Amino acid sequence: MNKADVNAWVRYHSEISFRLTAQRTALESALIPVSAYILIACVECYRRYPALIGDIASAMPPEQIGTTGRDLGNEIDLVRLWGVANFPLVGRKILQAAGMVDPDDDAARLSTNFEFWNRAATSYHGNGNVQAHDNGGIVTPFADHVDEIMSYCIPVRDDERATVSRLNALLTSYLFLMWFDTRSGYQDSGPYELPDGKFLLLRAMHKLGPSDFPWSGDVARDIPYGDMLAAFVLDGASFSVTDFGTSLTDPDDYLPHVSHFALFDTTGAMLRPVERSEFDDLRATVKATQKDLYRRIAAMEHREKIDAGAYVYFSFLRPFAVAAGNADALDWTVPRDSLDLYPFLELVKGDEAGTASQETPETYYLQIP
């Protein structure tokens, strides 16, 4: 890409990401220094993603990697694609403020990132779009699996509704903690329109058990599933999805409108239904694990929490390397290339990180001069 092409994508992401981040709260977690670890991770992404992308793309074409995102049980999804394009841009904002961005080097880095992202995202969406924003919040990567998924969905009786609601709330809150106060551990897709006029919402959940997250190994050993998929059939409710992989439903409380439901184990890209008779045991196991995980994180030192959270964000690129088959050969260590700014960034809290309300859609990401 030439500089004009790069600037066109900068402007594209500036407008969309401004609106996305404006919708998010800037509250700081009492447990985890979220703002600090995000900024450190994004500096690492700006400085290191181009080289990692080169290694990944040499192992598998980005188009093929993007298509992998339509398979069950993988982490190539809306928020991972958004992060590949936008995390380096957030890190760039920090480095620009410090006078540490060279325009020529900047153009080369962003060109590498955008080309990889564009090719993978176009393949993932499969309809010429590169983000949920482009298609009015309709993203259906698992369309080919809908018939099989629906064959396992069974009606939700009134006396079962509370059980489904509690299990959904527990799984998402557990993953929120496992992924260090970020919703990226669970990703919604849809709406998948069904022949009877109802809509299917699919919620993919990742890394419930032991994974590449170092803090998960001993804590999550009793969780029986690595990846799961929840299927909600909505009657009398509609929704769209954002590029954060978050569903926006109408009405906001959609659970009373769930007519059918199914839960699956998708570990290893297989679709295995979890029987409702297993829900109580699963809820008990996740609840106990969540308590242990909270104690594990609470016992971490401040920098240990920052480094763990920074790994979560920096490793958004890792699923692409997993698909390409060379993830274990690459260096995912953080912090590594942000050490010069680390003493300053580790002190950032909440609104100090800067909010979209202080900027405009045109200036959220600055053009290359």
pLDDT tens across 78-129, in order?
Answer: 999 999 999 999 999 999 999 999 999 999 999 999 999 999 999 999 999 9
Q: What is the dihedral of CA 102, 107, 108, 110, to 10 degrees?
A: 110
CA distance from start to end of the chain: 16
Residue-level pLDDT at 354: 47
Q: What's the pLDDT score for residue 356?
A: 46
Which residues contact residue 75 at a Cβ distance below 8 angstroms, ignoring those fewer than 6 apart?
A: 206, 318, 319, 322
**Amino acid identity at 165:** S
Mean pLDDT over each residue of the chain, to the nearest integer: 95
Cβ neighbours, 10 Å, residue 281: 10
pTM of the model: 0.95
Listing DSSP states for 322-365 in one string gives HHHT-GGGS---SSSS-TTTHHHHTT--GGGG--GGGS-TTTSS
pLDDT at 351 over 70: no
**Whether residue 268 has pLDDT greater than 50:** yes
Structure confidence at residue 54 (pLDDT): 98
Q: Give backbone dihedrals phi and psi of 187, rounded to 5 degrees, phi first.
A: -130, 125
Is the backbone peptide bond immediately before 210 cis, with ω within 30 degrees of 0?
Answer: no
Q: What is the DSSP letter of 29?
A: P
Torsion of CA 354, 346, 99, 110, to 10 degrees: -80
- Give the burial string for 162-185 (b: 16+ CB within 10 Å, else e): ebbeebbebbeebbbbbbbbbbbb
What three-state secondary structure class fits 141?
coil
Q: What is the pLDDT of residue 22?
A: 79
Q: Is the pLDDT of residue 256 over 60?
A: yes
CA distance 140 to 116: 21
Residue 357 has pLDDT above 60, yes or no: no
- Provide CB contacts within 8 A for 24, sequence distance 6+: 244
The whole-number average pLDDT for the span 148-168 is 96
Structure tokens at 346: 């580790």
pLDDT over threshold 60, residue 192: yes
Q: Give the whole-angstrom CA distance, residue 326 versus residue 320.
A: 9
Residue 272 identity: R
Q: Write down the pLDDT at residue 27.
A: 56
pLDDT tens digits for range 32-85: 999 999 999 999 999 999 999 999 999 999 999 999 999 999 999 999 999 999
The DSSP string of 222-286 is T-S-SSEEEEEEESS-EEEE-TTS-EEEESS--GGGEEEEEEEE-GGG--EEPPGGGHHHHHHHH
Residues 6+ positions from 212 with CB-CB distance below 8 Å: 315, 318, 332
Q: Rounded to an integer, what distance in angstroms lies between the CA atom of residue 322 and that of residue 233? A: 31
Mind listing the pLDDT tens digit for each residue in 195-244?
Answer: 999 999 999 999 999 999 999 999 999 999 999 999 999 999 999 999 99
